[in-house]
């Protein structure tokens, strides 16, 4: 059974940093691109960042480019999101999500974690 479990969310002041983790199990983690998707209260989902299975390719939404860094440790089946220079508009539930297919140029997300809440406020 595929499972994705996020952790690391919490309350942080504007300008602060947080590191999110997503522990994966039940599938060949290193074979799949993984993404972070966030959802602000009452809003639709917003893609944040993705990383290829081997870690060689990363992509970021313009809204987080230069502030967030995605990484993965395939030996630990874990995806990370380092978030720096946090702003109030980064407040959201952050989900990790798995690509549906191996090696696709782009793919929808067939499994999502339960999400971890990040609140940026003074």
Partner 1 sequence: DIRMTQSPSTLSASVGDRVTITCRASQSISNLLAWYQQKPGKAPKLLIYKASNLDSGVPSRFSGSGSGTEFTLTISSLQPDDFASYYCQQYISHSECTFGQGTKLEIK
| CB of 13 or CB of 65, closer to partner 1 | 65
Query: Which structure tokens are listed for 20?
Result: 């999110």
* Cβ 11 to partner 1 shortest distance, Å: 19
Strands (E), 1-86: 3-7, 10-12, 18-25, 34-39, 46-51, 58-60, 68-73, 78-83
- Burial class of residue 33 in the structure, from the number of CB atoms within 10 Å of its CB (0-12 exposed, 13-18 middle, 19+ buried): buried
Binding-site size, partner 1 (CB under 8 A): 25
Which residues within the stretch 5-44 sit at the binding site for partner 1 (CB under 8 A)?
33, 35, 43-44
Is residue 100 a contact point for partner 1 (CB under 8 A)? Answer: yes
Taking every pair of C-alpha atoms in the chain, what is the biggest distance, in angstroms? 42
* Cβ 14 to partner 1 shortest distance, Å: 26
Is residue 59 a contact point for partner 1 (CB under 8 A)? Answer: yes
Question: Which residue shows structure tokens 């809204």?
Answer: 63
Residues engaged in binding partner 1 (CB under 8 A) = 33, 35, 43-47, 50, 52, 57, 59, 62, 95, 97, 100, 105-110, 112-115
């Amino acid at each position: 059974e595929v499972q994705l479990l996020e952790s690391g969310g919490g309350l942080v002041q504007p300008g602060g940093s947080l590191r999110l983790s997503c522990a994966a199990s039940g599938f060949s983690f290193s074979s799949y691109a993984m993404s972070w998707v966030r959802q602000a209260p009452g809003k639709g989902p917003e893609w944040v960042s993705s990383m290829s299975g081997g870690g060689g390719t990363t992509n970021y939404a313009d809204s987080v480019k230069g502030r967030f860094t995605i990484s993965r440790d395939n030996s630990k089946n874990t995806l990370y999101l380092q978030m720096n220079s946090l702003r109030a508009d980064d407040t959201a539930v952050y989900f990790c999500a798995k690509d549906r297919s191996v090696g696709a140029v782009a793919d929808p997300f067939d499994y999502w974690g339960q999400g971890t809440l990040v609140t940026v406020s003074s």
